[in-house]
Structure 1
Amino acid sequence: MADLHFELVTPERLVRSEDVYMVVVPGVEGDFGAMAGHAPVMTVLKDGELKIYKTAGGQPESINVAGGFAEVGDNGLTVLAESAGE
């Protein structure tokens, strides 16, 4: 399966821009996993951890996020967070 293009952006800077296998996003209506080919969706973030899987079956890297939005579209997953820290 093709990789998912993932970007994490805060008002201060572009935190991440890379191709990954999957990202688990903390949405207000529940956490969801975004992979390449995911249906378009937009959600409000809840404070929590983004879990970034670089490979299938790999260990996730976690980044804490607070506030903001996540959008899955034709260009991949974009997370616009009020703040993000590793």
Structure 2
Amino acid sequence: MADLKFELVTPDRLVMSDDVYMVVVPGTEGDSGILAGHAPYMTTLRDGDLSVYRSQGAQPEKIAVTGGFAEVSERGLTVLAESAGA
């Protein structure tokens, strides 16, 4: 499967911009696993950890996020968070 184009942005900086296998987003309605080719989608974020899988079967890289939203489009997944850190 093709890689997912992923960007994590805060008001202060671009935290991550990379091609990854999958990202699990902590949405207010529950966690959402996003892979390449996902249907268009938007959710607000709850405070929690994004799980970034760089390849299939890899251990996730956890990034704490607060507030904001996530959007899946034909360009990939963009997460706009109020804050983000390791």
TM-score band by shorter chain is over 0.9
For residues 9 and 55 of structure 1, the distance between their equivalents in structure 2, rounded to whole angstroms, comes to 21
Equivalent runs, 1:18-29 vs 2, <5 Å: 18-29=18-29
Identity of aligned residues (%): 71
Partner of 1:76: 76
SS of aligned partner of 1:8: strand
TM-score, with length taken from structure 1: 0.99
CA RMSD, aligned part only?
A: 0.3
SS of aligned partner of 1:33: strand
For residues 48 and 85 of structure 1, the distance between their equivalents in structure 2, rounded to whole angstroms, comes to 11
In the TM superposition, structure 1's runs of 4+ consecutive aligned residues that sit over 3 Å from their partners are none
Across the two proteins, how many residue pairs are aligned to each other? 86
Q: Structure 2 stretches of 5 or more lacking a match?
A: none
Q: Structure 1 stretches of 5 or more lacking a match?
A: none
TM-score, with length taken from structure 2: 0.99
Question: Larger strand proportion, structure 1 or 2?
Answer: 1
